[in-house]
Amino acid sequence: MRSLIIITLFATLSAKKFKQGLLDPPMSNIPLHSEKWFNQTLDHFKPGDSRTWLQRYWINWEHYKKGGPVLLMIGGEGEANPVWLSTGAWKEYAEEVNGAMMLLEHRYYGKSHPTNDLSVKNLNWLNSRQALADLSRFVVAMKADHQLTGNWIALGGSYPGSLAAWARLKYPHLISGAVSTSGPLRAKANFFEYLEVVKSALESSRRGCAEAVEDAITRVKYLTTHRVGWSLLTRKFNLCSPFDGHIPTDVANLFESLIGNFEGVVQYNRDNREFEGAKWTNVTVDTLCDMMLDTNLGSILARMKEVNTLALKMAGEKCLDYTYKSQLEELQQVSWNSSAAEGGRQWTYQTCTEFGWYQSSESPKLPLGDIIPLRFFEYMCTDIFGPKFDVELINRGIEDTNTYYGGTDIQVTNTVFVHGSIDPWHAMGITRTNKSGMEAIYIEGTAHCANMYPPRKDDSVQLKNARKRIGELISQWVKS
């Protein structure tokens, strides 16, 4: 879900494992819109707390005509990128309805820092409810400051897609419609469905691909059980430190890294970022499946090695740092200048307190068993943030989230939910509905947030039709 954020596919740094949102288009020669700062309330739900902070935002008035609507792009779990003010499908929507384009960065991400650091006590105001209240206060202020009389439409991809729907749900007097792209709505701790969709995507690419990956993982699992295997794993997968199968968290982390090599490509398969020279967009599900089925590369384990080598090259890493200790050390950093502050620590906190969405291997439909168990992620919450953040807190937060927003039983109008069939996050969203005022668009063969990227000639008919339908709905909502 992730919104407007730079994510490296095949990320091997621990903080990047928890990112799941909309990738940025590549930077272009188009001048970026200047950043602006909004004086935002720290705690919207405590009237006696008058503390404020500066929240970053951008505006593009290029297509705006007096009385026109505002399209509000919601930032997510990473730094917002102003390049989106000049590209993407929403730019065409703005032109069609003579609307202004605004982008608001999510609290605690990018340069929008409500507190001095990311210590546990200072993360107290990081949650979706505060973020939605930020949106409401921002809308009210912009209306007054710029004499805006038109309707507001919220848009977002991934977690911001969830926020877009929730903004319409909670603030219908401010948000007239919402485009929720690839947004998970149902909070759930054990999100094993993610890997089920990944398997389906691999199998739809090349017959036998999913089976080949599972076979390779089974062989890796055997090697984790004896010392000779440990040495082989260290060499074959270019681990940064010798593998020790006695450490369960390291074993789980290794599997998460190797399987993550496929997850990342599936989730962002064929996203349209190469239009200005983005690197590695030519690596697709087909690419990985061809490698896993190419007997010229050697044994099934040798083929998995080649995929991992490609992953390291794409991430710009010399070796695979798989240790749980390294992951904890990174995510325990609290400085805004740390690598954890790029989004890993904040998003992990939100999963521990609101959403879960832990991509375990414990699906009854998969032969992987518990190589990546749910408890691995649950323990991580405690290890990173302290003993208070235990299983009970995680489950209570998930229950509260689903009660507050309604999960996939959300009751909202003027909202369209858009998902791609090979995007694993569609399993937590709405892909069909017959509820009045809601519409679901399910695009076969597309991945995460595909409809938000600029169109290209070889887009599928379904994808083209989806963008067209979204534009029609926005045109209806701005007139209602």
115, HSE (Cβ side, Cα atoms, 13 Å): 16
Count other Cβ atoms within 10 Å, centred on residue 279: 12
Whether 131 and 42 have beta carbons less than 8 Å apart is answered as: no
- Closest by CA position to 17, among listed 348, 285, 356: 348
Q: Which two tokens stand for residue 413?
A: 């109008």
- Closest by CA position to 54, among listed 111, 121, 4, 103: 111
> Distances in Å between the alpha carbon of 398 and those of 189, 325, 354, 431?
7, 27, 5, 21
> Which ranges in 39-151 belong to alpha helices (H)?
89-97, 128-146
Whether 303 and 262 have beta carbons less than 8 Å apart is answered as: no
- Sequence letter at residue 276: E
Whether 166 and 10 have beta carbons less than 8 Å apart is answered as: no
Whether 158 is a known active-site residue: answer yes
User: b/e for 214-225, b at 16 or more Cβ within 10 A?
Assistant: bbbbeebbebbe
Of the candidates 113, 419, 426, 448, the residue annotated as catalytic is 448
3-class secondary-structure state, position 31: coil
Of the candidates 112, 158, 176, 180, the residue annotated as catalytic is 158
Q: Which two tokens stand for residue 217?
A: 């993982």
- Sequence letter at residue 14: S
CA–CA separation, 148 vs 142, rounded Å?
A: 7
Listing DSSP states for 424-456 in one string gives: GGGGGS-S----TTEEEEEETT--TTGGGSPP-
Of the candidates 419, 423, 426, 459, the residue annotated as catalytic is 423
Whether 448 is a known active-site residue: answer yes
CA–CA separation, 168 vs 173, rounded Å?
A: 8
Residue 296 DSSP code: G
327, HSE (Cβ side, Cα atoms, 13 Å): 27
Name residues whose C-beta falls within 8 Å of residue 341's C-beta, 6 or more positions apart in sequence.
118, 333, 335
Name residues whose C-beta falls within 8 Å of residue 345's C-beta, 6 or more positions apart in sequence.
15, 118, 331, 332, 333, 334, 338, 384
23, HSE (Cβ side, Cα atoms, 13 Å): 26
Whether 33 is a known active-site residue: answer no
> Distances in Å between the alpha carbon of 349 and those of 199, 346, 355?
28, 5, 9
Instruction: Provide the annotated active-site residues.
Output: 158, 423, 448
